[in-house]
């Protein structure tokens, strides 16, 4: 067995350190977001929103969630680098906070949450958030496929959370509608949907190193 393995040994393409993979992906994704926003344009009153706490808290929390999830995806694909329960707890806490922020700060008085209207009016944003997340996910997937994940489904799920959260941020900066229903169903729901899909896609893509 050892002889066989030794005879098959050749120079292998070494992987980048985890932090370098993470930084590279964040930089590339930021580039994608910037290009997309240049093409689509940012909302007119963004300068005004920039000085308000709730919109900035939402965007910052979403970015923090995306960055943490990307690190989780990368570390879960490198043997011996898996993060502990504490890190996952923090990640879940950030995602819960992100989900709560629209309900805490963006509910308008006297208005109920009209899910159907929010979805109907938000179809363009759902498409936009999906589109904006696909390229970052492909970039992250390409990086992760070079690693050696033993839990490819989980790696896929975290990569989906990360990439499509960036997509949600991009659309949020472009879209003038900052109402709770619209934010949750048109901007954040695609994140959940694509996370489901990337779990299965990741289970296939990130286990190819074993073949």
Partner 1 sequence: MLLKRAQAGDAEAYRRFLDEIGPVLFNFVRRRVFNQEMVRDVYQEVLLTLHKARHSYEPSRPLGPWLFTVARNSMLDALGRNRKFAEREVPTEFLPESSEVEKDGSLDDRLYQALQEISPLNREAVEMLKLQGLSLEEAAKRLKISVAAVKVRAHRGYEQLRKLLTEAKHED
Contact indicator for 70, 26 with CB cutoff of 8 Å: yes
What's the closest the beta carbon of residue 19 comes to partner 1, in angstroms? 10
Number of Cβ atoms within 10 Å of the Cβ of 99? 16
Q: Which helix (H) or strand (E) holds 185?
A: none
Return the range that interacts with partner 1 (CB under 8 A); candidates 54-62, 80-88, 109-117, 189-197. 80-88
User: Rounded distance, CA 161 to CA 91, Å?
Assistant: 11
Beta strand extents in the chain (DSSP E only): none
| CB closer to partner 1 out of 16 and 131 | 16
Q: Least distance from C-beta 163 to partner 1, angstroms?
A: 22
Residue 82 found at the interface with partner 1 (CB under 8 A): yes
Rounded Cα–Cα distance for residues 5 and 126 (Å): 49
Q: Which of 60, 89, 103, 209 touches partner 1 by CB under 8 A?
A: 209
Tell me which residues in 108-127 interact with partner 1 (CB under 8 A).
none
Contact 76, 155 (CB under 8 A): yes
Specify the residue, 11 or 109, whose C-beta has the smaller distance to partner 1. Answer: 11
| 84 in contact with partner 1 (CB under 8 A) | no
1 is an interface residue for partner 1 by CB under 8 A: yes
Contact 149, 155 (CB under 8 A): yes
Selected range binding partner 1 among 61-69, 114-122, 142-150, 174-182, rule: CB under 8 A:
142-150
Nearer CB in complex with partner 1: 17/31: 17
CB 146 → partner 1: shortest distance, Å? 8
**Cα angle for residues 105, 108, 114 (degrees, 5° grid):** 110
Neighbours of 139 (CB within 10 A): 18
- What is the spatial distance between Cα 5 and Cα 29, in angstroms, rounded to a whole number? 39
Contact at 8 Å (CB) between 160 and 137? yes
- By CB under 8 A, residue 85 contacts partner 1: no
Of these, 36, 49, 78, 94, which contacts partner 1 (CB under 8 A)?
78
Indicate whether 143 belongs to the interface with partner 1 (CB under 8 A): no
Q: Does 142 bind partner 1 (CB under 8 A)?
A: no
Residues that bind partner 1 (CB under 8 A): 1-2, 5-15, 17-18, 78-82, 147-148, 150, 209-210
């Amino acid at each position: 067995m050892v002889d066989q393995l030794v005879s098959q040994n050749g120079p292998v393409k070494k992987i980048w350190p985890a932090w370098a993979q993470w930084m590279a992906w964040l930089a590339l994704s930021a580039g994608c977001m910037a290009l997309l926003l240049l093409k689509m344009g940012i909302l007119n009153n963004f300068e005004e929103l920039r000085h308000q706490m709730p919109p900035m808290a939402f965007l910052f929390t979403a970015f923090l969630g995306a960055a943490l999830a990307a690190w989780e995806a990368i570390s879960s694909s490198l043997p011996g680098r898996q993060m502990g329960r504490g890190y996952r707890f923090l990640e879940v806490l950030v995602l819960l906070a992100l989900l709560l922020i629209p309900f805490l700060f963006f509910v308008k008085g006297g208005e109920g949450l009209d899910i159907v209207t929010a979805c109907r009016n938000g179809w363009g944003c759902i498409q936009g958030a999906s589109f904006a997340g696909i390229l970052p996910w492909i970039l992250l997937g390409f990086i992760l496929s070079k690693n050696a994940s033993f839990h490819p489904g989980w790696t896929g799920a975290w990569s989906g959370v990360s990439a499509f959260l960036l997509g949600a941020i991009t659309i949020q900066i472009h879209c003038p509608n900052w109402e709770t229903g619209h934010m949750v169903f048109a901007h954040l729901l695609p994140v959940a949907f694509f996370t489901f899909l990337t779990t299965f896609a990741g289970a296939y893509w990130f286990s190819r190193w074993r073949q």
